[in-house]
Structure formats: structure tokens, C-alpha cells
Amino acid sequence: MRRLLTAAVAMSLAAAALASPGTATAVDEVNTKRLRDAVTVNGILQHERAFQRIANSNGGTRASGTAGYDASADYVVNRLERAGYSVRRQTFTFPFFRELAPGSLTRVAPAPEAEFETSTLEYSGDGDVTGSLTSAKDNQVPPTGPSPGGSTAGCEAGDFTAAPPAQPAVALVQRGTCDFIVKVRNAVAAGYDAVIIFNEGNTPERSGLLENVTLGAPAAIPVVGISYADGAELYRNVVAGPTTVTVSTSTETDLEAETQNIIADSPRGAKDEVVVVGAHLDSVEEGPGINDNGSGSSTILEIAEEMAELGYTDRLQRRVRFAFWGAEESGLLGSEYYVENLNPNQLDRHYANLNFDMVGSPNYVRFVYDGDGSETDPAGPAGSGQIEQIFTDYFSSQGLASEPTEFSGRSDYGPFILAGIPAGGLFTGAEDIKTPEQAAIYGGTAGIAYDPCYHQACDNISNLSTKALFEMGDAAAHAVLTLGRSRSGLYEDGSRQAQSKAAKVSLEAKGHAALR
């Protein structure tokens, strides 16, 4: 799951009206037991171990733009071609970023000198700057607004006073409201040579070290993140008098790096109703990404192989397309490239998108994307509620609890719902903290993250719950085969096109929360 945490995708009232209610579904029941029995934890782990070996042989990472990703793609292509799928590589360029050494932040004056825990934001520039520190306007210390988005600091050009001429200067700005890159560009326009972004401080989740986030686009100057407490300390230093800091980053960015999506089509199924079953194949630079997202990639690869082995790929109502996305961790770039390069006729043929991003979290919860918007806002495009119900009905039939999670735009379903394509999927949790209520229902430990190794080197083959893989793997297999073989489909008349004529879906991306 990418660093770039996109905020909830805002939909107009027309979009909400199109979202199908969760209490009714046009999807007829499909017997999926043979496939669920064939999709095993052992089969999923076979692929996970292969991804771990690939990472071990390639510097501990499978990030897009690295040899580890290329080897992962080769592995997936080989397995899919052997299973009888028509496979293609969709190559695209993207801005590859690598942190060569940890960033640092030191207060030089006033005394005493102090070092602060720091993270380098993805796409930060490279450099070493010692200069006077200036606070942006509207930094809230203490925080007073709602969360997220309470602070507007740095969102307007006028939020930064002009940097002192002919000497290095560093801007201190608080997270909130607008994308990080907007704050940085406004600081650069005002003449600053480095930027420190401190967390918002409104909630526990927005108080710690600002890390695992991205600018979304390359910056020419060093940009580091710190905690709210450290930001508040530096803010008070500036208010009290002249303050000098040193900001250091060691990074490289290649604006024209190449990576690829792996696209595999079933040999049968209606070509005018394509069900895209997706998972991102890349890891972050920091680790092998065995849960994030080796778990999703391994699960859909196991489903693809077993569907072929059982002969289902020759007996489908709709074409099933398995997609392994590249550069998700850099900002959903693979899935965005895929959707943006569909012509109108190709786009109309896309029936649904299923997304599986992190389905083996060690402290897991059974999350289902809230397609009908009954518990979270917003709802997905028409048909998303029916997809949600496929999952929730399945879990209920197995005596398993589940709970909705919002269409936050955090993963590769984002570009599909922005294009009006119904979507759904499963998620077992990332860096957020498990509640006592969830621990009582799902087991595990309250007060710690669903995945304590999220975006870290320890996201390795030991960072998995086999119980989660079993439960979510079966649910994923059930949904894939149900959408592939259902005769009635998602809509009462069996067509997405008729539903689309009822109203126009107006979608507007609110932006990226990890960009904010």
C-alpha cells in the first residue's frame, strides 16, 4: 500500500444517487467451492517465498525501478504464461526516487544544539543546508482546527515571507489542508533553500514522526518531516528569537525511469465486460514488501493459476483480467497509466475492478471497501455496493465478521472509481492502530498497528498471518469467480451501460492525504 495516502475521493450528489444500495443485489449466486478449495495458503506462500528470494538477491527490495521489481515481474509473467493466459507487459516511465542515506535535522542555535528524529519525504531534493529558520503563517501551535486538514499553513504563496537575501533559509510549515508539494513549491517561490514539515498534532495518528509520505512530484530542495512535538519546539524557538538549523538529505531521482504493469487475460469471457483483478507488485525501497503487497500479488496469482487448472478460464461469462501494477508505492502510477491509456470504447468495456492490497497483515482485521457508502463517505460508482455485498455475504456465510473501510483512494482502485468503474476489494490493515473492540472481534492485539512492519525492512516472509491469507484468499477467490461467471451481473438488467444512462457520475479527487 503506497506511501501516498490519498484522501477520500469526493463524489457529487449525482454520484451518490447512482451508488447502488447495499440491501439489494442483482448478482446471482455462483458455486465457488471448488476454486476456494484449490486456492490454498500453501499456494500463496509459494509465491511469497519466491518474492522473498528475489528481494534477498536484489538488495532487499522489490521497488519499481529496481532489479528486484524486474525479477518479480519476470516471475509473474512466467507463471501466468504457463497457466495459459495471454500476457503483456505495459511499460511506462515514472520518476524513480531513492534515499541514499537517512536525512537529518539539527538545531544549531539557540543553544543547546539538538538533533531531531527526521524522515526524508519521497521525492525530496538532495542537499545540505544550514540557514535561518522561518515559520510559515497559519502554523497552529497548539492545533485548533479539525483533523485532518485543520492547518492551512503554506497553502498560499503569501503564507511565506520572503527569505532573507543572499543567505540560506529554511521554512518550517505544518501539515494540513493542501498537498505537501504545494507547500514546498510556495516555499521555493519565496526563496527558501529547504523545508521542514511537522505533523499536524490534531490526533494521535497525526502527532508522531511525519514519515511514509510523498511529495508526489520531485522537489529541487531538501524536504524533511518531523513530529508535531518537535515542530512545536522549533516554532517556539522561532517566536522567541533567531533560530538556525541544518537540514541534510541524500537522495537521487530519475525522472525517466522505466517500469511495467503485467496484464494477463483469460482466454474466454465476453470482451465487452472486463473484470480487472488487481494488486500492486512493487514494494517500497525500504524492504521486500511481503505483506505490502506480496500478499495481494501472491493471492491473485494463486487464484489465476487455480482458475486455469480447474478449467474455469474457458467457462466465463466475462473476461477476467489479472493486473499486477507497477509504481503503486510512488503514487498509483501503474494503475493511473493503465486507466488513462484506455480509449473511450475500451473504458466502456470495463465492468468492474477488484483490488487486493495487503491481505496478510499479522494483526489483521477483515476490511471490505464500503462500496455503497453506508458507513463511510463517499460511496463508489454504481455497482460498487453490489461488489461490497458479494464479500460481506460471503463472510457472513462463513460465520466471519467483517467491517467497512472507506474508498480513501489509497490504493489502485482509485483511478477506476474516478473513471466511474465500480470497484471493491479487501484490506487487512496497515499502519493504523487496532482498537480494543476490533481485538475482541478478530483477535490479535489492541493498541498496536495492524501491520507493525508497514513500509519497513521487517516486512518479510515472517510478517504474515496465515489465517488472514486463508480467510481473505478464499473471499477473493469467491468474488473473482462470482463476477466472472454471474449471469445476471451487477445490475438488474445485466448491463453497466443501461445504468450509466440514468445519470452522470461526477467525480472529483480531493487530493492525497499523505501528500497533506
With pLDDT > 70 as the criterion, what percentage of the chain qualifies? Answer: 89
Residues 47-56 pLDDT 10s:
999 999 999 9
Of the pLDDT bands very low, low, confident and very high (cuts 50, 70, 90), residue 502 is very low
What per-residue confidence (pLDDT) applies to 213?
87
**CA-atom Rg of the chain in angstroms:** 23
Which member of 48, 306, 328, 471 is catalytic?
328
Do domains 10-85+266-515 and 99-251 share one topology? The answer is no
CA atoms within 13 A on the CB side of 35: 27
Residue 275 bridge partners (DSSP): 320, 352
Residues 471-486 pLDDT 10s:
999 999 999 999 999 9
What per-residue confidence (pLDDT) applies to 500?
44
Coil, helix or strand at residue 335: helix
Of the pLDDT bands very low, low, confident and very high (cuts 50, 70, 90), residue 74 is very high
Of the pLDDT bands very low, low, confident and very high (cuts 50, 70, 90), residue 81 is very high
Nearest CA to 321 out of 391, 283, 267 is that of: 267
Of the pLDDT bands very low, low, confident and very high (cuts 50, 70, 90), residue 7 is very low
Question: Is residue 507 predicted with pLDDT exceeding 60?
Answer: no
Domain ranges of the chain: 10-85+266-515, 99-251
- Give CA–CA dist 137/341, Å, rounded: 41
202 vs 317, higher pLDDT: 317
**Annotated catalytic, 211?**
no
Residues 159-169 pLDDT 10s:
999 999 889 99
Coil, helix or strand at residue 298: helix
Of the pLDDT bands very low, low, confident and very high (cuts 50, 70, 90), residue 377 is confident
Tell me which of 294-303, 407-416, 471-480 is least confident: 407-416
Contact 462, 48 (CB under 8 A): no
- Give CA–CA dist 76/50, Å, rounded: 10
Average pLDDT, the chain: 90
CATH superfamily of domain region 10-85+266-515: Zn peptidases (3.40.630.10)
Question: Is residue 11 predicted with pLDDT exceeding 50?
Answer: no
Contact 258, 137 (CB under 8 A): no
Q: Kindly indicate whether the domain formed by 99-251 is annotated with CATH number 3.30.450.40.
A: no
- Give CA–CA dist 360/476, Å, rounded: 12
Contact 199, 175 (CB under 8 A): yes
What letter represents residue 316's amino acid?
Answer: L
Question: Is residue 145 predicted with pLDDT exceeding 80?
Answer: no
Global pTM value? 0.83
What per-residue confidence (pLDDT) applies to 204?
86
Q: What is the mean pLDDT of residues 101-110?
A: 97
- Give CA–CA dist 508/512, Å, rounded: 12
Contact 351, 483 (CB under 8 A): yes
First and final C-alpha spacing in the chain: 17
Coil, helix or strand at residue 69: helix
